[in-house]
Every structure is written in C-alpha cells, then in structure tokens.
A = this chain, B = another copy of it.
Amino acid sequence: MSLSLYQSTVPSFVRSLRAFLVILDKAELHAKARKFDPTNYLGMRLAPDMFPFVRQVQSFCDNAKNGSSRLAGIAPPVFEDKEATFAELRDRVVRTLEYLETLDPKAIDAGADREIVLPIGPDRKLNTRGGDYLAHWVLPNFYFHLTTAYDILRSAGVEIGKRDFLGAVPGVEPAA
C-alpha cells in the first residue's frame, strides 16, 4: 500500500490554505479591535534579516502552486509578487486555492519518477525525481513558510492556536 502523489499534495495544501484564510479573518478582527490598519501585518518580521509576513505568504502559496504543477508536468503560472494590502494578500491565497482545484489528480499521480530540475538560489540547482522533490523540498518549504507566517501573527497577539493552523483535519471527532 502506498500514497498517491495527489493525496500527498493538493488536499493538504487546500486544507492549509483554507485554514489560513480563517487565520487572516482573525488577524483582521484583531486589527479592528485594536484600531490599527491590518496592512501593518505585511511588513512584520521575526528578525530584521528574515522575510516579512507578505513574503512568507507569497512563498507558501508558490510552494503549493509550483510544487503541484511541476509534479503534474506542467509549467506553473506566475503570480506576481505585488500584494500591498491585506485584501490583496487574502486574494493571493484565494487565487492559489482556485488554481490548485484546476490540477488533474492523474497528472500529479504520474509524477513520482518525473525528472525535476530547477534553479534554487543563485548558486545551486535541484536535480531530482518527483517523489524526493515532494518529500524533501515541496513539503518542508511549504510548511516552513506557512508556520513562520502563523508565528508572526501569533507573536503579534492574534488569538490563534494550532487548531487554526491545522484546519479541517479529516477524522477529528468529539471524544466519547
């Protein structure tokens, strides 16, 4: 028994991105209650030489979009990094969700042995196969940026917890 590549990708990204839309709602309510512009979140960082919130969100959206596309053997569409308002950032998440729903599960499932070659930064490239690309690149990068975006809002006082991060996990039931 094994997991299809589709099962290992799109449903997890969709669960996480939908959960993040709820987190953004809570962040916006927090801003409203404290009377500040939620656009202020976009430039927040955990350290002065880390990417700001806006870039963390752009990154995990692209990890989901690009990772799924490359596994499916298609060139990912480019979403320009130009979000300047909270509403535009939410829209980036929504557009990513909409795009993920257009992907053909069968094409992704065929990607385990697909050759993946892409530049990573100025001095290195990744030259691997779909299965390793998913386990060792796409998933850790996706969750890295998703968690760091969460940690930025959490450290900013937004009332969220790990249940918000995980979202609608299948099989969760009230204890008897």
Contact = CB atoms under 8 A, between A and B. Distances in A.
Given A7-B131, A143-B147, A169-B137, A2 B112 contact: yes
Contacts of A85: none
Nearest to A9: B135
Interface in A76-132: 109-113, 116, 119-120, 122-129, 131-132
A141 interface: yes
20 contacts: A1-B5, A1-B111, A2-B3, A3-B3, A3-B131, A7-B135, A8-B135, A15-B136, A46-B154, A47-B157, A119-B175, A120-B172, A123-B175, A124-B172, A124-B173, A124-B175, A126-B171, A127-B171, A129-B171, A132-B170
Interface of A: 1-5, 7-8, 11-12, 15-16, 46-47, 50, 109-113, 116, 119-120, 122-129, 131-137, 139-141, 143-144, 147-148, 150-151, 154-155, 157, 162, 165-166, 169-176
B46 A170 contact: no
A69 to B, nearest CB: 17
